[in-house]
Amino acid sequence: MSRRARAALLGANRALYGLARPLLFRMSAQAAHDRTLDILRWADRQRWLQPLLRAAGGLAFDPEAGPVEVGGVMFDSPLIVAAGLVKGDGFASEADALGAVRRGANIIPGWRSIPWLAGPVEFGSFTRWPRLGNPGVVVWRDPPTRSAQNRVGLRNPGAVAAAAFLAARARWLPRQFGVNVAASPGVDDPAQQAEEVSAALAAFVQRGVRPAWFTVNLSCPNVEDDPANRQTPDLARRVCGAAMAAAQSGAPVWVKVGPALGADQYRALMQVCAEVGVRAIIATNTLPAPAPGAPALTAGVSGGRLHAQAVEAAALLVQEKARQGYPVDVIGCGGVMDAPTYHNFARLGVRAVQYWTALIYRGPLVAALIAAEHGQMARLSASREEEAALDRVA
Ligand SMILES: Cc1cc2nc3c(=O)[nH]c(=O)nc-3n(C[C@H](O)[C@H](O)[C@H](O)COP(=O)(O)O)c2cc1C
């Protein structure tokens, strides 16, 4: 597709989402989130949508940018949908979740349509056992800062049912997806945490589900029994070591960290990741903060209000990687919304980013918009540099 045709299509998308957004924003964030999951469940069933969504999603792929290798995976596009969108329904027990899989229910809405539309996607987080997540309102928006807050609380069908669901659809699985696993909140014993993460990951491997990467989520702020201790080097060594063994060298393992750690902790985590063979660190998860209207509860901030801190964390990790020569890539995540916010990670030398909240504020084709805007920005600055060099010669 020519650059002009891409630009026209992206312009149409901008205009369309510009019209749809005020309607969506009339609903509460919670209602919009629930409706989106209904739409994804419906879209997954519509095979006729595949070529349309693929064509639209293909816009994210900038042919001039070329493929990029990050964390042991070769990507066509450096923009990856972050964990938490395609994560699945909550269940009270594994028997219930497996029963739903046997009945043919779609327990992971978006598993098909989001990769058609957006390319690479990280599924999960999945815990060893199913979780219903937190009750009541769990998602909020803050339009002035283009932020969101959530306390979904790791709602998911559990790794065994998720793996059974995906294994039964092996023929239709996307070419590139990641699987994010986490220990159950409330499990404090390090040995049990390692055991849970490794069992969750093994559930996929044993059923022949082969993602392009696994992510170990060491950071979940949306539960009151905040497992901040998950991110200590000792625990990370144990949990990541177990994950590496369970992955059986089948897929690279990445680690996801929070945005509020000390500089020494980031450095130590980078060292542990290098030691155990983790290939990439995603910086970052959401930032813990009081939930809107319920300050005693915790809800993770994402989007604009997270961006600066996520960039700072990524910068520290990149610096340590360079200083020590560690073979661990850094993947930016937190408030990637447009070309400038993407560039804040890219200029550190980060070659891929993940995004979530940008989907709320800029619509389903946001990756294509960011890729196009960033390409334009890069071309503009190259031509400015060229002009400056000519001026100097003259
Ligand atoms: C509603 C919601 C649910 C999320 N659930 C998860 C999750 O289950 N696991 C995870 O690792 N991150 C989860 N995240 C965090 C995102 O993956 C991402 O790290 C964070 O939102 C920062 O990126 P953003 O500013 O582009 O949204 C969730 C985010 C949101 C908004």
The per-residue pLDDT for 83 is 98
Supply the pLDDT for residue 225: 39
The pLDDT assigned to 222 comes to 46
Q: Determine if ligand 1 sits within 6 Å of the CB of residue 152.
A: yes
- Expressed in angstroms and rounded, the spacing between residue 149 Cα and the centre of ligand 1 is 9
Domain 3-393, CATH class in plain words: alpha beta
Residue 24: CB atoms within 10 Å? 16
> E strands of the chain, at which residues?
68-70, 73-75, 79-81, 121-127, 139-142, 147-150, 177-182, 213-217, 253-257, 280-283, 287-291, 294-303, 329-333, 353-355
pLDDT of residue 257: 94
Question: What integer pLDDT is reported at residue 220 of this predicted model?
Answer: 60
Sign of CA dihedral 347, 348, 352, 354: negative
pLDDT for position 224: 41
pLDDT tens by residue, the chain, 394 residues: 677 777 777 788 888 888 888 888 999 999 999 999 999 999 999 989 888 888 887 777 776 777 899 999 999 889 999 999 999 999 999 999 999 999 999 999 999 999 998 989 999 999 999 999 999 999 999 999 999 999 999 999 999 999 999 999 999 999 899 999 999 888 888 889 999 999 999 999 999 999 999 999 988 654 443 344 457 788 888 999 999 899 877 899 999 999 999 899 999 999 999 999 999 999 999 999 999 988 989 999 999 999 999 999 999 999 999 999 999 999 999 999 999 999 999 999 999 999 999 999 999 889 988 988 887 777 777 777 777 777 777 6
Output the pLDDT for position 221.
52
- The response to whether residue 118 sits with its C-beta less than 6 Å from ligand 1 reads no
Show me where the domains of the chain are located.
Answer: 3-393
Q: Is the CB of 125 under 6 A from ligand 1?
A: yes
Other CB atoms within 10 A of residue 347 CB: 10
Quote the pLDDT of residue 197: 94
Q: Bridge-partner residues for 81, per DSSP?
A: 121, 355
Quick check: CB of 134 below 6 Å from ligand 1?
no
Distance between Cα 10 and ligand 1 center (Å): 25
Distances (CA, A) of 185 to 37, 137, 256: 24, 19, 15
- Rounded to whole angstroms, how far apart are CA atoms 124 and 141? 22
Bridge partners, residue 126, by sequence: 181
CB contact at 8 A, 11 and 369: no
- For a pocket test of ligand 1, which of 217, 285, 359, 361 has the largest count of ligand atoms closer than 8 A to its C-beta? 285
194 Cβ below 6 A of ligand 1? no
Global confidence as pTM: 0.93
pLDDT for res 205: 95
Residue nearest to atom 9 of ligand 1 (CA): 125
Quote the distance between the C-alpha of residue 70 and its chain's center. Answer: 14
Tokens of 43: 């879209």
Alpha-carbon distance 324 to 347, whole Å?
20
298 lines ligand 1 (CB under 6 A): no
